[in-house]
Amino acid sequence: MSEKLTHLRDDGSAHMVDVSDKEVTKRVATAEAIFATRPEVIELLMSGNLPKGEALGTARVAGIMAAKRTWELIPLCHPLPISKVSIDFTAEDSTVRITAQVTTKGVTGVEMEALTAASVAALTLYDMVKAVDKHAAVRSVQVISKSGGKSGDWVRED
């Protein structure tokens, strides 16, 4: 691991990393967020019967839109030509696992875009269920895997 942080200059000030000499490769990142609520709310959510309407489609579109705008939200991120964003929902007893996968062909990875997509999709679910469960929560946002680029492939092992 490098001793020097790439987003800091020698004087300690933050800057955007120059990626102009990096090789263009296909890059894919997958991230997840966990949305927690009561089992009866999960049932309403998955059946599309929430008072605010069908939440999964709304959250999917919100996540896709967020991935495309990550560079506007995270100060040192580069604008990327995103090729694909997928958002999937897996219901469990009292949680929904939101999985976001982002693909690009570019010079830098899409981990931040995948994290942003999963996070915003989870926040959208919260907005859609808060009328029926004020105790709902967004938990454990993390990168699950990434591929492409100089550092190669990586998969979370826990």
- Chain centroid to Cα 103, Å, comes to 12
Q: Examine the residue annotation and report whether 127 is marked as an active-site residue of this protein.
A: yes
What letter would DSSP give residue 52? T
Residue 116's alpha-carbon distances to 1, 38, 151, in angstroms, are 25, 25, 21
SS3 133: coil
Report the amino acid identity of residue 136.
A
SS3 63: helix
Residue that is written with structure tokens 């899409």 in the block: 110
User: Helices 39-47 and 111-129, interaxial angle, to 10°?
Assistant: 100
Q: Which of 127, 133, 153, 158 is catalytic?
A: 127
What letter would DSSP give residue 12? S
Give catalytic residues, as residue numbers: 127
